[in-house]
Amino acid sequence: MANELYAVVGNPISHSKSPRIHSLFACQTGEPVEYTAIQAPIDEFSGTVRHFFERGGKGLNVTVPFKEQAWTLADHRTPRAEKAGAANTLFLDQENELVADNTDGVGIVRDLQNNHGVALKGLKVLVLGAGGAVRGVIGPILAEQPAELTIANRTVAKAEALVRLFAKDAGATVLSACGFEAPDQPFDLIINGTSASLQGDLPPVSANVIGPATVVYDMMYSLQTTTFNQWALDHGAHRVHDGLGMLVEQAAESFFVWRGVRPETAPVIEELRTD
């Protein structure tokens, strides 16, 4: 069977690991998938998407800075994309209409639960940040029924807006918003979803949020320990994880959405760590 075409679209795109991840999935599953990277000009995202599907492309991943545009552009959105306000996965349905999905939230939950043995149910969770990346993961985290989910952000109004948006999905979870300075007790799990480290900063949260059993998860990934994870280790965190597993898990979920086949993620995560 001839290969079917998939790609990731972003700007910049040259550092994306998605082509490598999906090539490994294709190899492992025997699916006829060819996966490339496309750099769309900043003001030409929709034209790039249209052109890709017109020439027979089957599915796209979308990354920075186009995830919100992908969401707007789509004719239909899956419920999880609707709530996320952004899309990382696009495909055409049987009527040739563009569907937007978001697999980021499922990605972090699967990485925590399947790869790191962190079941979210009943945990006290602190999320740092309230931007697009955080909005994409709140719904799937709440679905696991943590005992508490506190969203702390530099701009408190943005954290409060997320709490309003997800209030109906909270169930028995105590969902709240605050500034970085407010949390002062240890949490079971701390997720850093800010982009502070891109500017060489740390979110100015008190080290009291870290106790001897605290697991810390930085949604960024890096070959070295991330700045935030190093800070957490220096203050006695039990374990730290970066977002590489989330990246592979969201990719696996996109692969499943497109192909109906679920690749194994553990060997791919291991392979990327040794690249």
Q: Catalytic: which of 58, 67, 121, 124?
A: 67
| Under 8 Å between Cβ of 219 and 193 | yes
Task: Specify burial of residue 156 (Cβ count, 10 A radius: 0-12, 13-18, 19+).
Answer: middle
Tell me if 132 is assigned to a ligand binding site.
yes
Q: Which of 247, 212, 229, 16 is nearest to 128 (CA)?
A: 229
Q: Tell me how far apart the alpha carbons of residues 37 and 19 are, in angstroms, rounded to a whole number.
A: 7
Residue 226 binds ligand ATR (CB under 6 A):
no
Between residue 254 and residue 273, which ones bind ligand ATR under the rule CB under 6 A?
A: none
**Secondary structure letter of residue 77 according to DSSP:** E
Cβ at position 128, least distance to ligand ATR in Å: 8
Residue 154 binds ligand ATR (CB under 6 A):
yes
Cβ at position 10, least distance to ligand ATR in Å: 12
Out of 130, 209, 216, 269, name the contact with ligand ATR by CB under 6 A: 130
Out of 105, 129, 243, 245, name the contact with ligand ATR by CB under 6 A: 129
Residue 107 binds ligand ATR (CB under 6 A):
no
Sign of CA dihedral 257, 259, 261, 265: negative
Residue 133 binds ligand ATR (CB under 6 A):
yes
Tell me if 150 is assigned to a ligand binding site.
no
Residue 67: active-site member: yes
Rounded to the nearest 10°, the torsion over CA 162, 168, 173, 175 is: 30
Out of 132, 139, 183, 186, name the contact with ligand ATR by CB under 6 A: 132
Q: Tell me how far apart the alpha carbons of residues 218 and 137 are, in angstroms, rounded to a whole number.
A: 13
Q: Using CB under 6 A, list all residues that contact ligand ATR.
A: 129-134, 153-155, 158, 194-196, 199, 201, 203
Catalytic sites, residue numbers: 67
